[in-house]
Chains A and B, each alone.
Chain A
C-alpha cells in the first residue's frame, strides 16, 4: 500500500498538485531506515490501526447501560444502549414512563442512531487512513475518532435532559414528578426508582481507541517529524 502511494506520487502529472499531495501525505520512510528501526515506524501504525479496530468492534457492543431499581423489580430493569438501538426492558420502562409523561425511548436520538454505524465506520476509516499520512494531517484525520466518546456522552446527556424536561403535563403523575435531568453517569432518583447509569464495553473500546490515537500520534510525531525535517 505504502509503495503504491509512493508510485502514485511519483507519476502525478501536475507538479503543483504533486507538491500539495506530498505536503499532506508527508515523507516516505526510506527502506534502509525502516530496516534499521522498524519499531519506530510500526508503532504508530499499529496503535492507529488498533484504534480503528476498537471503534469498529465497539459497534457490536453496548455503549451505555441504565439500571432501574425499585422494590417490585427485584432483578432491576435494564436498558442497554448500542450505537443504533436499545435492548432490554425497554417496553417495561416505556410503560412506566408513560405515568410521568416521558416520551418513548424509541423516539430518542433517532437521527444519531440511524447514522451511527456509518459514522463510526467512517471515522474508523479516517484513523486507518491516518496510518499512511505522515504529517500533522494524520492528527486531523484522527480527531473525530478521538473525540467520539466525549461526543457520545454529550449527545446522550442532551437527550436525557430533553426527555426529562419535556414531560407530558397531562400524564397521570405529572403533579407528583416534576421535570428532571437524569444523569448520564451515576445515580439518579425518580419516584420509587433509583437509577444507575454507567458506560459499557462499547464505550470502553471507543475510549481505548481515543487512548491508542493519543499515544499513536505521539509516536507518529516522533517517527515522522525527523524525516520531514531532514
Chain B
C-alpha cells in the first residue's frame, strides 16, 4: 500500500487527524456527563404512613389539623402561589407575606425609618422622600398605614405599584414593585386625617383618599362651636402618572364635603366605572365634649339610624376640575361643595348607621355596605342608583343641599349576617365574605343577580359563619376586590389574639388567619394563624405571585433606585476618589465583597461631606450595608445600587465604618476609617 514516502506522510496525517477526532470526541463525550442533580423523587402520598401517623398522634393533631398543615406547608425552596400586601398599621410600614405559607417576606419601609433597608437612616434620597411627606415642618417619623392598594389595569391587579395611606397625617405613599421600595410620600395639603386611602380606579388613573375626622380645610384653626360652618369633610383624587411612577400633585384635586366623617371608599368598575363611593358616619355632626357634659363622640355620632353613602361622579368631577371650577388652599385644588352640588357630582343615599366598608362587586353592579351597628349588609344596585339620579328622585336634601336618594329606590337587598359587619370581599364562585367584628366570625353569603349562576345556593343568603380569633377587622380574599377575584384563600385580620399565641407580655400580636374558601356552600376551613408583632394591620390585598415581576438586582451598576435610572454620581472600580473644594469634601466609593474603596477617608472637623457609595456587585443577594457610627447612618446598598449620604463632620475622631449586611466570609473585615482631624 505504502508506495512512497509521500503517501506514508498522507496516511500519517489522516491517522493523526482521525485519532484527534476520536480522542477529542471521547474526551468531550465524557465531559458532557456533567452532573445534573436529578429532581427529588416524588413519592405519591396515598395514605399517611406510620411515621406521619405517629407524629400526628404525638403532636395531638386531628385529621382536620393534618389537612390544614398539608395545605399550608412549604418545603424549603417552594414558593408561594400568592403574595399578600398588608398594612403594617402604626408601624407605618407595609408587610409582604407569602400565601398560603403565611411566611413574612419583607417589611417595606414607608412612613417610618427602616434601618435594614437604609430607609430614612442617612440616605439623602430616602430622607428626601420622607421629608417631602412631613405634614408640617416637624420631622415625622411614623405613620398609621391603613389600606394598601395595588395598581390595576382594567380593574385587575397588574403588579406594578402599591399605594398606601397614613390615617394619622393624611398622607399617601407610592411603592414601586420593581424593587419594593417607597418612591413618594405626599401630605394632603387640605386634610388633617384620612381613613379611606388608598383605593384605585380601574386603570389607576386616580388614587382615592377618603377623609376621616372633619377639620377646617388647609389644616387651620376654627372653634369647635363653628363646626358646621367651618369644619369640612374631604375626598381627594390623586392623579397617578404611571410612566413616572409618581402621583402628579398638580393634576390632583379634592372635593369639599359636609363635615361628616367620611370613611372608606371604593372605586366603581365596569357597570359603575367612573364613580366613587365613600361612606360616612357622624352625619349628626356631633362635636363631643364629654367633659362639658355633652354626649361623648361614641354616643353623639351614633344617634341617627341612617348615615350617608356618598356617591361621587368622578368622571364628571375630573371634567369640572379641568374646567377650572375649583378653589385652592395651600396651592391645592378642590371643588367647593356648592359647585359639586350644582354640577351634579355628588349624591347621598341613606345607609345603616355608622357603616364601615363599602365594597363594589366584581362586575361593578352592586355596592355592599356593612352596617357595623346593624346586623345586615345592605346591597345597593348601581343600575337603580343611575336610574334614581336620572329621574332626579330625591327624598330631600341634606343641610348643605346635597340631594339624598331614597333608600328604597336604590337598595337591592339587605342580608342579615350577624353582629358587627365591617368589610366584604368576593370570590370567583359568586360568594361574598363579610367580617363580623362582634361575632368574631367571617360570614360567607351568596350573591344574586348576575352571580346567581356561579353557585347552586339561593341568592342573597347567609351560608355559613366561620369563627375567627378574635375581633376581626378587615379581610382579604385572593384578588377579592378586583374584577377578577381568584378565590381559594382568604385571610381574616383579627385585632385581638388573646390566647392564640405564646404570651409575650401585655401587648399582644395581631392574628392573621388563613382560611380555605375553595369549597362551595358552607365549607370553609381555618388553616393557619400568623402572629403580627409589629403594628395593627388594617387592610391587605392578595395578588397572584406570578403577576409580580421584581428585579433580582438593579438593572445596571450605579443605579439610583429613587429615579429608577443611572445615578449621576455612580462610581466604578478604579475611579474611586476623594475631592475637596474648600471645606466641601466629596467621596466616590465602591463596595464589593469584601472591601470598600477607599478604606481611609480623611477629612477635617467642620467639613461638609457628600459621600456616594456604589455597590458594584451583580450577584443576587450580594447586598452591602454601610454603617457609620455616631453620625446615625446606615445604608442598604443592594447589588448595583448607588446611594449618597451628606453630613457636616461636626465631631472629630476615628470613626470605623463597616458593612452592616453579612456579605461574605470576610464580612467583618469589610471596614474602614473615617478620620476626622480636629
Contacts and interface: CB of A to CB of B under 8 A. Distances in A.
Contact of A204 (B7, B14, B28): B28
Given A92-B619, A217-B14, A136 B6 contact: yes
A197 B7 contact: no
A108 to B, nearest CB: 18
Contact of B14 (A73, A89, A99, A218): A218
B592 A95 contact: yes
Interface in A132-151: 136, 139, 143, 146-147, 149-150
B669 interface: yes
B10 A217 contact: yes
Interface stretch (A33-41, A112-120, A206-214): A206-214
B27 interface: yes
A107 B666 CA distance: 25
A214 B31 contact: no
A103 B326 CA distance: 67
Interface in B561-605: 592-594
Contacts of A198: 28, 31-32, 34
Contacts of B21: 207, 210-211, 214
B24 A149 contact: yes
A50 B617 CA distance: 44
B666 to A, nearest CB: 5
Contacts of B6: 136
A153 B28 CA distance: 11
A147 B267 CA distance: 73
Contact of A149 (B20, B30, B619): B20
B78 interface: no
Nearest to B25: A207
Interface string A197-225: 11100011001001101110110010001
Contacts of A89: 618-619
Contacts of B618: 89, 91-92
Interface in B11-58: 13-14, 16-18, 20-21, 24-25, 27-28, 30-32, 34-35
Interface in A77-104: 89, 91-92, 95-96, 99
B666 A99 contact: yes
Task: Determine the interface band of chain A, counting residues with CB < 8 A from chain B.
Answer: 20 to 34
Contacts of B666: 99, 172
Contact of A172 (B13, B16, B25, B669): B669
A67 interface: yes
**Interface secondary structure of A, over-half rule:** helix
Contact of B10 (A150, A204, A221): A221
Contacts of B592: 95
Contacts of A185: 27-28, 30-31
B14 A214 contact: yes
B35 A150 contact: no
A169 interface: no
A136 B21 CA distance: 21
B17 A211 contact: yes
Nearest to B619: A92
Contacts of B617: 92, 95
B34 A196 contact: yes
B132 interface: no
Contacts of A15: none
B423 to A, nearest CB: 41
A207 B28 contact: yes
A203 B594 CA distance: 36
A198 B32 CA distance: 7
Nearest to B12: A139
B18 A221 contact: no
B9 interface: yes
A198 B24 CA distance: 11
Contacts of A207: 20-21, 24-25, 28
- The winner among B30, B32, B665 for most chain A CB atoms within 10 A is B665
Contacts of B30: 185-186
A196 B36 CA distance: 11
B7 A221 contact: yes
A196 B17 contact: no
Contacts of B34: 67, 196, 198
Interface string A164-208: 000000001000000000000110000000001111000110010
Given A95-B592, A186-B30, A217-B10, A196 B24 contact: no
Nearest to B13: A139
A185 B594 CA distance: 30
A22 to B, nearest CB: 16
B17 A213 contact: yes
A99 B670 CA distance: 13
A203 B17 contact: no
Contacts of A221: 7, 10, 14
Q: Name the 7 nearest CB pairs between A and B, nearest first.
A: A214-B17, A198-B31, A211-B21, A199-B28, A214-B18, A146-B17, A207-B24
Interface of B: 6-7, 9-10, 13-14, 16-18, 20-21, 24-25, 27-28, 30-32, 34-35, 592-594, 617-619, 665-666, 669
28 contacts: A95-B619, A96-B593, A99-B593, A99-B665, A139-B9, A139-B10, A146-B16, A146-B17, A149-B20, A150-B20, A172-B594, A172-B669, A186-B30, A196-B31, A198-B28, A198-B32, A198-B34, A199-B28, A203-B28, A207-B20, A207-B28, A210-B20, A211-B21, A214-B13, A214-B20, A215-B14, A218-B10, A221-B14
Interface of A: 67, 73, 89, 91-92, 95-96, 99, 136, 139, 143, 146-147, 149-150, 172, 185-186, 196-199, 203-204, 207, 210-211, 213-215, 217-218, 221, 225
